[in-house]
């Protein structure tokens, strides 16, 4: 088992007080005790799968800080911090930048006019930058990052407000053959032809997509899905991955599930 590490942020102040995506109903009640329990369970599942978990302290003013996936994009020890689309989350940028700086990363920024929401919309895949634009992140941001990190951009467009980040509708699996699950209707090109030369694409149903099935965390050969009753779970097991469920229903109220709550540090 490889010893990976990931970054999370504890949910003490998690709530849904504004709405910046269709999942969020401002002021909807969140069961904070349950949210904490679900978050701890996810953390334990990640540890059981073989990763260590670093934690950014929570901030009362930033209820969405729990979604560390959006902090930025990492390439080794270099990190480019997010430029959040919505004012409500912009204060998180400094918190994440400070954490990365204090922990020995080379922290950079991209031009402020380019919106970019981190691992939510892009990740490094070998010599490629795989990314999506159209809702939260700008294409220019992805091209800028690819250039900074010396990567070839492989970029697609998102068109469905409900699936507003790439990680809400696409996830690479830890199985052979570069398998990846995706929700076709989230993408402008439903066949995802741009990705098909890199990934063996496995579509999920609308029902699975609505449970944020693609927002699964992958650690070593384990895939952590956000709820029971996800149809594609069997297929993922058949392909050889170890499937685990960490129910994060309280976080779905904010439009996030397992992968949103995590960013891989290596």
**Whole-angstrom distance, CA of residue 249 vs CA of residue 197:** 34
62 assigned to active site: no
* 252 forms part of the interface with ligand ARG (CB under 6 A): no
Taking the complex as a whole, how short is the minimal distance between the CB of residue 240 and ligand ARG, in angstroms? 26
User: Is-contact 95 141, C-beta < 8 A?
Assistant: no
* 135 forms part of the interface with ligand ARG (CB under 6 A): no
By CB under 6 A, name the one of 11, 42, 81, 120 that touches ligand ARG. 120
Taking the complex as a whole, how short is the minimal distance between the CB of residue 16 and ligand ARG, in angstroms? 8
* 167 forms part of the interface with ligand ARG (CB under 6 A): yes
- Write the CB contacts of 46 (distance below 8 Å, at least 6 apart in sequence): 6, 8, 53, 217, 219, 224, 262
* 115 forms part of the interface with ligand ARG (CB under 6 A): no
* 64 forms part of the interface with ligand ARG (CB under 6 A): yes
By CB under 6 A, name the one of 131, 134, 226, 256 that touches ligand ARG. 256
* 175 forms part of the interface with ligand ARG (CB under 6 A): no
By CB under 6 A, name the one of 260, 262, 264, 265 that touches ligand ARG. 260
* 38 forms part of the interface with ligand ARG (CB under 6 A): no
Among the listed residues 165, 169, 214, 258, the single catalytic one is 165
Residue 80, Cβ density class (10 Å: 0-12 exposed, 13-18 middle, ≥19 buried): buried
* 130 forms part of the interface with ligand ARG (CB under 6 A): no
- Write the CB contacts of 143 (distance below 8 Å, at least 6 apart in sequence): 153, 155
Q: What is the DSSP string of 19-49?
A: -SSTT--TT----HHHHHHHHHHHHHHHHHT
165 assigned to active site: yes
* 21 forms part of the interface with ligand ARG (CB under 6 A): yes
By CB under 6 A, name the one of 9, 70, 175, 247 that touches ligand ARG. 70
**Whole-angstrom distance, CA of residue 243 vs CA of residue 261:** 18
Buried b / exposed e across 119-153, counting CB within 10 Å, b at 16+? bbbbbbbeeebbbbbbbbbbeebbbbbbeebebeb
Taking the complex as a whole, how short is the minimal distance between the CB of residue 128 and ligand ARG, in angstroms? 20
* 179 forms part of the interface with ligand ARG (CB under 6 A): no
- Write the CB contacts of 118 (distance below 8 Å, at least 6 apart in sequence): 69, 70, 71, 72, 73, 81, 82, 263
Catalytic residue annotation: 165, 260
What residues make contact with ligand ARG under the rule CB under 6 A? Answer: 20-21, 24, 64, 67, 69-70, 89, 120, 165, 167-168, 254-256, 260
């Amino acid at each position: 088992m490889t010893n990976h590490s990931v970054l999370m942020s504890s949910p003490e102040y998690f709530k849904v007080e504004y709405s910046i995506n269709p999942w969020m109903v401002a002021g909807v009640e969140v069961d904070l005790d349950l949210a904490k329990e679900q978050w701890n369970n996810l953390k334990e599942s990640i540890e059981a799968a073989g990763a260590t978990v670093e934690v950014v302290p929570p901030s009362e003013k930033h209820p969405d800080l729990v979604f560390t996936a959006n902090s930025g994009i990492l390439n080794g020890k270099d990190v480019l911090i997010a430029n959040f689309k919505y004012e409500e989350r912009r204060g998180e940028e400094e918190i994440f930048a400070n954490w990365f700086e204090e922990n020995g990363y080379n922290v950079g920024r991209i031009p402020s006019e380019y919106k970019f929401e981190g691992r939510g919309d892009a990740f490094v895949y070998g010599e490629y930058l795989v990314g999506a634009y159209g809702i939260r992140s700008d294409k220019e941001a992805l091209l800028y990052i690819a250039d900074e990190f010396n990567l070839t951009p492989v970029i697609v467009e998102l068109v469905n407000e409900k699936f507003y980040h790439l990680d809400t509708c696409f996830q690479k699996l830890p199985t052979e053959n570069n398998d990846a699950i995706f929700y076709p209707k989230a993408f402008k090109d439903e066949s995802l032809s741009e990705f098909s030369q890199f990934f063996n694409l496995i579509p999920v149903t609308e029902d699975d997509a609505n449970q944020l099935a693609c927002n699964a965390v992958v650690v070593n050969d384990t895939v952590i899905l956000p709820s029971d009753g996800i149809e594609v779970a069997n297929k993922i097991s058949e392909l050889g991955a170890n499937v685990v469920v960490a129910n994060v229903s309280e976080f779905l109220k904010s439009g996030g599930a397992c992968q949103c709550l995590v960013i891989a540090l290596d």
